[in-house]
Structure 1
């Protein structure tokens, strides 16, 4: 069949951006900073990026033959991507539960938003920050609160030893330190 008679599918629009699953009855915890970052991305897409691409597509469509018009074809594809991301962000922000980790400042117990330093198997010291699934970036030492290491560390205290069953084997973790952002430092940054 000729490609001219096929149509790109728009089914599952917005659902092919796989959002990390939440546990049954679980909440989509996020820090105020993470929420603001997602919200600003959403607003930038709606207010800036999408109108710019709509203008390009409109201009390209006015040039005539759309079947071989690269600006039109790529613009329409980019619009679909933007609309998909807008739907995804809107859904995630609607179910977000904002938790300010600064309320635990000074605590030695691990809760959501903590930066935890731990010793793994008495040899490797690691530091991670436990954040929401929509804001954690592993290349920056951040892990989702649903990650196995975070789940093992949650509610532990400095000095506690925890056993972590991982695909690579069982690891022993010893909590060395717990830090939370200072409320006054956060207010000064806003």
Structure 2
């Protein structure tokens, strides 16, 4: 049927869903057990939200339903590609995925503690950095006492590894 015979009101609005945290093509979707549990909880919340849709306007309900389904599609893709990393199989004296790393940054006296996690669970405010972040990539394979240097435009930032735990 020609588009000339379709009423404007019958057109479904395509939901705009923001993409999930960036995971470059070809990079494995490593997650912690906690990270996978968070993804599964998010899925349950979205399913519950979809089941509780109650709009008087059928068009609004369909748009909201389609939006939630689009979010679920992206989320299911992440869940299905997730690879849980067993911390017990990581070398305990080397920084790898899942490590809690205590760092001395430059001349600061205060120590900072970060865990290297999957892209969906990364949250710097909670001390969790993505394994694909520049800092995490610098720290991988380092040991206590090693220094990692991040080259910045105006200066270098030195990260000294003080402690590693899993």
**Structure 1 length normalisation: TM-score?**
0.72
Higher helix fraction (1 or 2): 1
- Distance (Å, rounded) in 1 between the aligned partners of 2:35 and 2:27: 18
Q: Distance in 2 between matches of 1:77 and 1:125?
A: 48
Deviation sequence 1:135-154 (CA, Å, 0-9, x none): 11221111100111111011
Tell me which residue corresponds to 1:95.
Answer: 81
- The question of 1:21 aligning with 2:28 is answered no
Q: 1:35 to 1:164 in 2, by over 3 A?
A: same
TM-score, scaled relative to structure 2? 0.82
C-alpha distance 80-169 of structure 1, shift in aligned 2 (>3 A): farther
Q: How far is 1:8 from its partner?
A: 6.2
**Superposition map of 1:74-153 within 5 A:** 75-104=61-90, 107-123=92-108, 124-153=110-139
8 Å CA contact 1:17–1:84 kept in 2: the answer is no
Distance (whole Å) between structure 2 residues aligned to residue 146 and residue 25 of structure 1: 12
Kept after mapping to 2: 8 A contact 1:17/1:88: no
Report SS of the residue matched to 1:29: strand
Q: Does 2:143 correspond to 1:157?
A: yes
Aligned CA-pair RMSD: 2.5
Distance 2:112 2:165 in 1: 14
Partner of 2:43: 42
Give distance in 1, aligned partners of 2:122 and 2:40. 15
Structure 2, unaligned runs of 5 or more: 1-6
Unaligned runs of 5+ residues in structure 1 are: 67-71, 181-190
How many residue pairs match? The answer is: 158
How far the C-alpha of 1:88 sits from its partner, in A, is 1.1
